[in-house]
Amino acid sequence: MVLVFIFLAIIILITLFLFLVVASNLRISFENFNFSNMEEDIAENVVKYNGGEKDKFNIKISLVLFKKITWLYVNLNKNRLKKIAKKAHLDKNTLKQLEKDFKFSDLKKLKGLKPKITNLDLNINLGIEDVVITSYLIVGISILISNILPFLVEKENYNNCKYNVKPIYLNKNLYKISFNCIIEEKMVHIINILFKFIKKGRSDKNERTSNRRSYDYSHEQFAKYG
């Protein structure tokens, strides 16, 4: 009898977990991203590094229920990302297999994904040696961002998204980019895409097996009648 209750409890927990996953949104938060080739910024980063200050750069991946309740998350700072990249680099066989299995036509399956930006704080400072080109470049980037954002941001979150693009007129090739961004996608869409890839993988495997068996059979017939 005790085993029955344990079995039922396990089933209930698994069912609850699956429900939470399906009903949740996948939220990816990019926190404190900074890129710069300006000397003062590079010097500041060196001072922070030598002083032992923790790197603020962070990627937080979480599952959020009803867009409010975070019930599962993982933080990926600079050190963790380096370890993941190193491990992926060492496991070359896995990467080669992924490259072999993934085809350009598979990108069509990603149409089911509809990621949305729910929060954005973007600051771009950019300059090149030619002042005139710098001015045109700043205007072009501003227009590009303003045209793309409406497709990536829902109206209710539009006030949470801001960007600032400024020129640097120093006759040098300089850039300073900083941003914080939150992107969300429904887990239902992600699971649907995963099922499509799994189904494709099985069909490809069966096709390869079928071709091999057909070849083996023809080889046997050739040996028999040859």
116 in helix, strand or coil? strand
Q: What is the 3-state secondary structure (H, E, C) of 169-190?
A: CCCCCEEEEEEEEEEEEEHHHH
Question: Predicted confidence band at 195 (pLDDT cuts at 50, 70, 90)?
Answer: confident
Q: Which pLDDT does position 198 carry in this prediction?
A: 78
Angle at 172 between CA 167 and CA 175, to 5 degrees: 50
Residue 36 pLDDT > 70: yes
Q: Which pLDDT does position 121 carry in this prediction?
A: 96
209-224 pLDDT, tens per residue?
555 555 454 444 444 4
Dihedrals φ, ψ of 166, to 5°?
-125, 145
Question: Predicted confidence band at 111 (pLDDT cuts at 50, 70, 90)?
Answer: confident
Residue 92 pLDDT > 80: no
Question: Predicted confidence band at 186 (pLDDT cuts at 50, 70, 90)?
Answer: very high
Q: Which pLDDT does position 222 carry in this prediction?
A: 43
The separation between the first and the last C-alpha atoms of the chain, rounded to the nearest angstrom, is: 67
Q: Can you tell me the mean pLDDT for 197-203?
A: 70
Task: Output 203 or 71, whichever has higher pLDDT.
Answer: 71
> Largest Cα–Cα distance in the chain?
83
34 in helix, strand or coil? strand
- Report pTM: 0.75
Residue 225 pLDDT > 60: no
Q: Can you tell me the mean pLDDT for 183-192?
A: 93
Residue 118 CB neighbours (<10 A): 21
Residue 37 pLDDT > 80: yes
Task: Output 126 or 88, whichever has higher pLDDT.
Answer: 126
Q: Which pLDDT does position 169 carry in this prediction?
A: 93
Q: Which pLDDT does position 120 carry in this prediction?
A: 96
Question: Predicted confidence band at 53 (pLDDT cuts at 50, 70, 90)?
Answer: very low
Calculate the dihedral angle through the C-alpha atoms of 124, 125, 130, 133, rounding to the nearest 10 degrees. Answer: 30
- Which residues are paired to 63 by β-bridges? 26, 72
For residue 220, the number of C-alpha atoms closer than 13 Å in the C-beta half-sphere is 6
Q: Average pLDDT, whole number, for the chain?
A: 81
According to DSSP, residue 105 is labeled G
